[in-house]
Structure 1
């Protein structure tokens, strides 16, 4: 069976893949374009795809040999799953493996944005720090504040646990379905959560329905001292609306690990001091990426053997 690996994975994962498949691995670190995606589906039995690979509807219009796409990651908004299913191609992802690491980055961004850590580090690196004084760079004390979660799935719940137990935060949340979550209270709308929260963490899955869920209206519902953190996908937040809110003082700060047109980050966003910007570090720990790779490989093996994969989407 032939497996295409979109981009090089950790050594242990690549070795395990070669034990089971005839493996082709692209040498570039850039995502696959639509032409490469179409060729991959025609020439391989399974494709182990990664973030940004352009498996839109047109990729499934040609000759298809592949039985499945084993996505390396929980988010799969770069894949038209409906078009894949219509073409007889299964799609899987790697839930669970990414939960704690992504939640940790969300908390990192909460603390960095609240305590102005990025701004402070730039001050020191630029040689502009003149010493401690009582009113220097005053930020938000997060203990006891209200956290709003947009999307209470695995990652949202992990962020909520960390903030409720670690920082004694009250937690409110919006979710597309009704959930009972210990230590958290569900509200009826995104705007209601935004209005009630000191910190809003976006952890919802990226789907056509959640694109720009955090739009101008939702941002306007946030309080001027509030912070927005996004570790979901970039297109869940309306980036121009966020920039406008940050510039106008509609919200105090933001912490972002993902962007609408990744890896492009608008200059207007990079110029703002009240934004912490990370290069999509959500799962960037070796043991986490190894676990993701093993899960993706298990899915790939199952699809190649004609079995139901462990993690269909």
Structure 2
């Protein structure tokens, strides 16, 4: 009997063809509507593998109902939707899709920075709403990007790729990370500084940190008060790292100049959210890796991760590698 795989979002049949050769597959038929919790739990109870999205909570409740589950393959670089510790205790492999989305996400992050600094969305709406009657010297004036100081919190692969783009604008690059990156410092002329120095000195503060217990809400009231009044905050990592009420207050009372946000603490964000009422906020619906090419590569990698686990070989990208070693010992 073939193993059973449940895919939690509509995926092209062509992409799934290699997986169908070795497994029976059921695909949630919706693209924009996530699978219901009831259906997810029911399918997990029979599944050997789950092909998941960041919107799917994979927790102890699900694992308790899934005796045959071997792998949870997330189509994302992040995996904070998965209780990895619980999966590891049960010998379930957790996979993700790093690397393939690095450049695409960095492109979007820098585009968001530029759009926020130069008020592009606001300017576009200004024309569409029929408000442009005359030209004036400071009409929708924004902030320069070139030769400014950018501070990146979280210098992983995507953070480094953002820094690389900043070099094209002759920006001074500061960064803070759990560990120093000497090679990046040399290649990008980046300077390692404390978290506080990034916050206090930079014209652009870019969050590229993962969401963990340590990073939850790290961008809070005190942090925003410490920024320059002309500073622009960009978040393309995870919404949970920001205290959104504090950010709203900082923007409303001009403690910082503007914010560009691709992620939010609760997604999808409601249209009535206070942040969306502010003219100095550019908000995007979590589209960091949303190019046709990159999303296709992410699907392919997720499929390959599942195939490899089901065939007893090492996946391309594993979050909890200790499970692999324990599985090998058992064999």
Instruction: Give TM-score, length-normalised by structure 2.
Output: 0.90
What displacement does 1:34 show? 4.4
Q: Which residue of 1 aligns with 2:173?
A: 171
**Structure 1 residue 2 corresponds to structure 2 residue 4:** yes
- Aligned with residue 217 of structure 1, among 206, 222, 231: 222
Is 1:33–1:54's contact at 8 Å kept on the other side of the alignment?
Answer: no
Distance 2:14 2:205 in 1: 37
Q: Which residue of 1 aligns with 2:305?
A: 299
* Structure 1, 32-41 or 196-205: larger mean CA deviation: 32-41
What displacement does 1:98 show? 0.8
- Aligned with residue 291 of structure 2, among 273, 280, 285: 285
Is 1:92–1:311's contact at 8 Å kept on the other side of the alignment?
Answer: yes
- Aligned with residue 242 of structure 2, among 222, 237, 243: 237
Q: Which residue of 2 aligns with 1:102?
A: 105
Q: Which residue of 1 aligns with 2:157?
A: 154
Q: How does 1:106-255 map to 2 (within 5 A)?
A: 106-164=109-167, 166-180=168-182, 181=184, 182=186, 183-189=189-195, 191-255=196-260
Is 1:32–1:54's contact at 8 Å kept on the other side of the alignment?
Answer: no
Instruction: Find runs of 4+ consecutive structure 1 residues off by over 4 angstroms.
Output: none
**Once the two structures are superposed, what CA deviation does each residue of 1:280-308 show, in whole Å capped at 9, x if it has no partner?**
11111111011001111111011111222
Distance 1:9 1:185 in 2: 42
What displacement does 1:135 show? 1.5
Q: Which residue of 1 aligns with 2:323?
A: none
Q: Which residue of 2 aligns with 1:46?
A: 49
* Structure 1 stretches lacking a partner, 5+ long: none
Q: Which residue of 2 aligns with 1:16?
A: 18
What displacement does 1:92 show? 0.6
CA gap of 1:84–1:37, structure 2 versus 1, over 3 A, is farther
Q: Which residue of 2 aligns with 1:274?
A: 280
Q: Which residue of 2 aligns with 1:256?
A: 261
Q: How does 1:65-84 map to 2 (within 5 A)?
A: 65-84=68-87
Distance 1:277 1:11 in 2: 32
CA gap of 1:87–1:31, structure 2 versus 1, over 3 A, is farther
User: How much is the aligned-residue C-alpha RMSD, in angstroms?
Assistant: 1.5
Secondary structure at the aligned position of 1:167 is classed as: coil
What displacement does 1:242 show? 0.7
What displacement does 1:63 show? 3.9
Is 1:200–1:227's contact at 8 Å kept on the other side of the alignment?
Answer: yes
Aligned length: 311
* Structure 1, 274-283 or 176-185: larger mean CA deviation: 176-185
Secondary structure at the aligned position of 1:209 is classed as: coil
Is 2:116–2:259's contact at 8 Å kept on the other side of the alignment?
Answer: yes
Distance 1:12 1:153 in 2: 32
* Structure 2 stretches lacking a partner, 5+ long: 320-331
What displacement does 1:194 show? 1.0
Distance 1:172 1:201 in 2: 10
Q: Which residue of 1 aligns with 2:324?
A: none
Distance 2:12 2:102 in 1: 19
What displacement does 1:17 show? 3.1
Distance 1:253 1:25 in 2: 41
Distance 2:34 2:67 in 1: 20
What displacement does 1:33 show? 4.7
